[in-house]
């Protein structure tokens, strides 16, 4: 029985704790949170031990793996300490708030040789994964256009936005990662436009809430990503990969299968109300992939390197937003 601890038991940390607890062949040994009440609550729900001092987790030789789900500004610290303690690590995205900080952390973690998986869970959504598989099998031929949509459902609190690093680093970063993963390719040109169309407060904080990023990949493929902090009709996430032989998509999905035919219309159930309902199951799949890597001694994927790359793209897109100019990168 692999013993696992979860550090950080806010919303997503609690999801991870429950998933560890129900995963066969694994034991949720301990949970920790800067707010001990949160840890106790997660412990009660899962049967794990609540630990007040995270050092107990790092010192416990029986705990082989940790999930880091703390606020972004603490990732680098926990990541470094957990790596030094020799733990296998599942770390929520992003690695850090800026690329420099993240790169330094990655260097130091690499020296320890511990396996690390970065929490780009969307790769594990069943429909997205089926798209990736179709592309990898060559079903659409050579990739030419990728279209990624992510919207809503509502802006986070302005306090969160202020420390989030901006829409590119906080929200769009998932799609920078999906783009690299889907195409197995790297960007050579990034251009972004955006505005604070949803919330004046977001604009005053120097951020955008609505944006379009255009990218050219080394292969010549073109990509567009549209992001919005608010979709009045629920959470809307969509992937489309168009190539020389066809097109494959991960479609919008209605939250139920009811439809009402009235007058001149068909009224269907709409989107999932929130992002979590839409992609909830991908968290378990991501954790499962991590645990398999740990058990089999294989390299986890998405890797820290993937995290760095997406972070760099987010920085470059932020720079383009600021300057109004396309950023050209070496192929």
| Residue range at the interface with a second copy (CB under 8 A); choices 31-39, 163-171, 250-258, 306-314 | 250-258
Binds a second copy (CB under 8 A): choice among 37, 53, 77, 245:
245
Q: Are 102 and 96 in contact (CB under 8 A)?
A: yes
Contact 226, 203 (CB under 8 A): no
Q: Does 324 bind a second copy (CB under 8 A)?
A: yes
Binding to a second copy by residue 201, rule CB under 8 A? Answer: no
Size of the residue set binding a second copy (CB under 8 A): 75
Among 130, 136, 158, 163, binds a second copy (CB under 8 A): 130
263 binds a second copy (CB under 8 A): yes
Identify the residue among 78, 191, 235, 290 touching a second copy (CB under 8 A).
191
From 25-33, 116-124, 247-255, 290-298, span contacting a second copy (CB under 8 A): 247-255
Residue 252 touching a second copy (CB under 8 A):
yes
Q: Is 224 helix (H, G, I), strand (E, B) or coil?
A: strand
What distance, in Å, lies between the first and last C-alpha atoms of the chain?
Answer: 45
Task: State the DSSP code for 106.
Answer: H
From 5-13, 59-67, 134-142, 162-170, span contacting a second copy (CB under 8 A):
134-142
Instruction: Return the residue of 256, 297, 299, 330 that touches a second copy, per CB under 8 A.
Output: 256
Question: Binding to a second copy by residue 248, rule CB under 8 A?
Answer: yes
Tokens of 43: 């412990």
Does the footprint of a second copy cover residue 216 (CB under 8 A)? yes
Q: For residue 60, what are its two tokens?
A: 């416990």
Question: Should residue 136 be labelled a site residue for a second copy when binding is judged by CB under 8 A?
Answer: no
CA 156 to the chain's CA centroid: 16
Q: What are phi and psi of 158, to 5 degrees?
A: -60, -30
Distance between CA atoms of 200 and 188, rounded to whole angstroms? 33
- Interatomic CA distance for residues 92 and 34, integer angstroms: 16
Contact status: 49 vs a second copy (CB under 8 A): no
For helices 126-136 and 275-296, give the axis angle rounded to 10 degrees.
60
Contact with a second copy (CB under 8 A): which of 37, 52, 246, 331?
246
- In the list 127, 295, 301, 303, the residue contacting a second copy (rule: CB under 8 A) is 127
**Distant-in-sequence, close-in-space partners of 217: CB < 8 Å, separation ≥ 6:** 143, 179, 183, 185, 186, 187, 188, 223
């Amino acid at each position: 029985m692999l013993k696992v601890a979860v550090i950080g038991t806010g919303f997503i940390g609690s999801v991870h704790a429950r998933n560890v607890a129900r995963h066969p062949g694994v034991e949720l040994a301990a949970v920790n949170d800067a707010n001990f009440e949160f840890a106790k609550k997660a412990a009660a729900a899962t049967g794990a031990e609540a630990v007040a001092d995270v050092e107990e987790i790092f010192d416990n030789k029986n705990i082989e793996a940790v999930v880091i789900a703390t606020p972004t500004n603490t990732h680098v610290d926990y990541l470094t300490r957990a790596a030094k303690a020799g733990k296998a690590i599942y770390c929520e995205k992003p690695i850090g708030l800026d690329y420099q900080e993240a790169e330094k952390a990655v260097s130091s973690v690499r020296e320890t040789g511990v396996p690390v998986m970065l929490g780009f869970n969307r790769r594990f959504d069943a429909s997205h994964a089926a798209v990736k598989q179709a592309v990898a099998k060559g079903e659409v031929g050579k990739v030419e256009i990728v279209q990624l949509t992510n919207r809503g459902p509502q802006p986070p609190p302005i306090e969160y936005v202020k420390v989030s690093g901006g829409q590119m680093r906080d929200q769009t970063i998932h799609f920078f990662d999906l783009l690299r993963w889907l195409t197995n390719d790297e960007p050579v040109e990034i251009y972004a436009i955006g505005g604070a169309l949803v919330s004046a407060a977001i604009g005053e904080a120097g951020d955008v809430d609505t944006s379009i990023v255009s990218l050219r990949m080394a292969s010549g493929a073109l990509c567009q990503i549209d992001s919005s902090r608010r979709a009045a009709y629920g959470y809307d996430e969509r992937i489309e990969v168009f190539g020389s032989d066809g097109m494959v998509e991960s479609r919008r999905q209605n939250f139920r299968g009811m439809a009402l035919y009235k007058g001149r219309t068909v009224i269907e159930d709409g989107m999932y109300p929130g992002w979590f309902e839409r992609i909830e199951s991908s968290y378990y799949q991501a954790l499962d992939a991590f645990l398999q890597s740990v058990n089999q001694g294989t390299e986890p994927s998405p890797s820290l390197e993937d995290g760095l790359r997406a972070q760099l793209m987010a920085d470059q897109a932020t720079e383009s937003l600021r300057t109004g100019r396309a950023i050209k990168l070496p192929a």
